Structure 1
Amino acid sequence: MNYSVVIPTVGRPNLDVLLDALAAGEGPDPCEIIVVDDRETRLGPAAARNTGWREARGDWVAFVDDDVVLAPDWKARLAADLEGLPADVGASQARIVVPLPDDRRPTDAERGTAGLATAHWITADMAYRREALARAGGFDERFPRAYREDAELALRVQDHGYRIVRGARTTTHPVKPATFLTSVRDQRGNADDALMRRLAGARWRSRIGGRPGRLPAHAVTTAAGVLAVLCGAVGWRRGGGALAAVWIGRTAWFALARIAPGPRTAAEVARMTVTSALIPPAACWHRLRGELRHRRVRR
């Protein structure tokens, strides 16, 4: 068994720590460590990973993100995970741990990162048999962000008859840095969901083990708000008032659902209140943009 390590990067400070861990850790060394810097091309992690694995010489290609923390014995545990796997196993996924604060409830952003611990097939730490990557054609570079591109590849690999197993190695994924509007910017992923639907079919969420999306609810909230404004513009106050009440009620319910499991500090409540009003129209806009952009994509 031999393997290569591919790390797409945008220059995060953790990269040097990661490379030091790979150099000094216990276990068999990789054939090579390939770091693909995406800061100049801005083609996204899918393209960066494709560049890396196509240059790799190992029978296995271990994809590792530049913001994870590897255990000192990661190389030994990876080798143990891969050793002796039957030919029909195309990939081995690590167990991802997201450390959360012990002294308070996690914020909305922290809960979002914590979802990586139960996600299927994420490339924060994922080793693919090189043959499986070649047969599937690698990552679809139409996915511009680190979102859905890994799950879509995993579906195609499995469609080629390979199994994906979960290894025993554990990798830590720290909570991602967040700003006031991070949750609003994250709605760009709705455009990628449109591409995912085109590529994997209408039941793609169940195929990747995901929960139902909130887009239908966001569409209702957004429609109520837009129609309330239009009614006010044409002077239909009664209809506009009723629709405004629907928008306020749905927005308040959404905000409360996000506030309740969190720390409920003044800053978090303010952030949830503002972003809960902005997320529904942002989600709808990005989904519409994605549907239009990928309208000619076929399975």
Structure 2
Amino acid sequence: MITVVIPTIGRRSLRRLLAALGPDVDTIVVDDRPRFCPSLAVPPHVRVLRTGGRGPAAARNAGWRAATTQWVAFLDDDVLPPPWWMDALLTDLSGLDEGVAGSQGRLDVPLPAGRRPTDAERNTAALMRAGWATADMAYRRDALEAVGGFDERFPRAYREDADLALRLLKAGYRLVKGRRVTGHPVRDDGFWTSVRAQRGNADDALMRRLHGPGWRAAVGGAPGRLGRHALTSTLGLAAGALFLVGGGRAAGRVPAVAAGLGWLALTADFAWARVAPGPRTPAEILRMLVTSVVIPPVACAHRLRGELRARR
């Protein structure tokens, strides 16, 4: 009745996930690493497909198209379901009528006790409120066929699940939230993880192109900061340009200083918004200060790249 599809880039957490599912679950692992990588070490009951680094949307499409069951449950390779997860999934799916295309699991992000969460931990915890995230999402196979599956123009694990959900809703299907719970541990992806995450702004441009300006509200997303990032970046560029053009003269310094102060105020506001709810350790404060300077122009550059690509 159910096939579990797990796209992976070879994280160590995959082995723990497969052990939690056990040998009785029909499981397909889709290896989306570059083709020259060695084969994954998985239990013998697990089927392995390879997509050669084409992205999670392509990996999930390969997985559900290889399945023959009525339902396909997608799990990310960094989640940890409890031992009773399959029984809970069967309970969630039982009795659903043909008009229901998908059932979303509830994600539990364990946060540290005794201190405030870091910026990275808060970002992961936001998945608990995300709509139709494929970290744990089951779909009818015929519904996936009806809309063509995941859109492979989304190259990252970002927005491709929301896009699929919106297309299914527009096609007249319903999506429901189940009662099963899956753990989603927090990963430490390094100092620059919040900067690398700005690549998702390019996918936001494609979402707007495909679903209109109201797409974010349609999937229950919070308003973004791109407008403020654009203003911050503009003021920073203006301050540098005015100072260079002014050649150090007083007439040139005044507007340059005004633009610079505006950039500083917006950057400080952004940094404090990220520092205030966190543990405020020296390492976390340093990370927030540095990345808050870098994020606005990086976010705008990715959005511009996405807009150009979406128009093409």
TM superposition score normalised by structure 2: 0.92
2:283 is equivalent to residue 267 of structure 1: yes
Distance 2:68 2:22 in 1: 18
DSSP-derived class of the 2:311 partner:
coil
Counterpart among 248, 252, 269 of residue 253 in structure 1? 269
- Name 2:28's counterpart in structure 1: 34
Match of 1:80, as an amino acid? T
Distance 2:6 2:273 in 1: 37
Deviating above 4 A after TM superposition, structure 1's stretches of 4 or more consecutive aligned residues are none
**Cα displacement (A) at 1:93:** 0.3
1:268-283 mapped onto 2 (5 Å cutoff): 268-283=284-299
Distance 1:91 1:208 in 2: 14
Deviations 1:70-93 (A, max 9, x none): 110111111111111111110000
Match of 1:250, as an amino acid? L
**Cα displacement (A) at 1:160:** 1.2
**Cα displacement (A) at 1:121:** 0.1
- Name 1:204's counterpart in structure 2: 215
Match of 2:27, as an amino acid? I
**Cα displacement (A) at 1:178:** 2.4
Deviations 1:65-115 (A, max 9, x none): 111001101111111111111111100000110000011000000000000
Distance 1:190 1:208 in 2: 16
Counterpart among 70, 75, 82 of residue 71 in structure 1? 82
Match of 1:263, as an amino acid? P
Deviations 1:237-277 (A, max 9, x none): 11101100000111011111110000000001111111111
**Cα displacement (A) at 1:130:** 0.6
2:163 is equivalent to residue 152 of structure 1: yes
- Name 2:224's counterpart in structure 1: 213
2:170 is equivalent to residue 170 of structure 1: no
Deviations 1:154-205 (A, max 9, x none): 0001111111111111000011222111111110000000011111111111
DSSP-derived class of the 1:70 partner:
coil
Distance 1:250 1:20 in 2: 47
Match of 1:283, as an amino acid? A
TM superposition score normalised by structure 1: 0.95
**More divergent stretch after superposition (208-217 vs 176-185):** 176-185
Counterpart among 73, 94, 105 of residue 62 in structure 1? 73
- Name 1:104's counterpart in structure 2: 115
Gaps of 5+ in 2: 35-51, 247-251
- Name 1:23's counterpart in structure 2: 22
Distance 1:121 1:167 in 2: 11
Deviations 1:106-157 (A, max 9, x none): 0000000000001000000100011110111100001111000000000001
Distance 1:67 1:273 in 2: 29
2:39 is equivalent to residue 45 of structure 1: no
Distance 1:282 1:167 in 2: 37
- Name 1:5's counterpart in structure 2: 4
RMSD: 0.9
Distance 1:142 1:177 in 2: 28
DSSP-derived class of the 1:12 partner:
coil
Gaps of 5+ in 1: none
Distance 2:79 2:87 in 1: 17
Distance 1:119 1:4 in 2: 23
Distance 1:23 1:269 in 2: 42
Aligned length: 290
2:222 is equivalent to residue 223 of structure 1: no
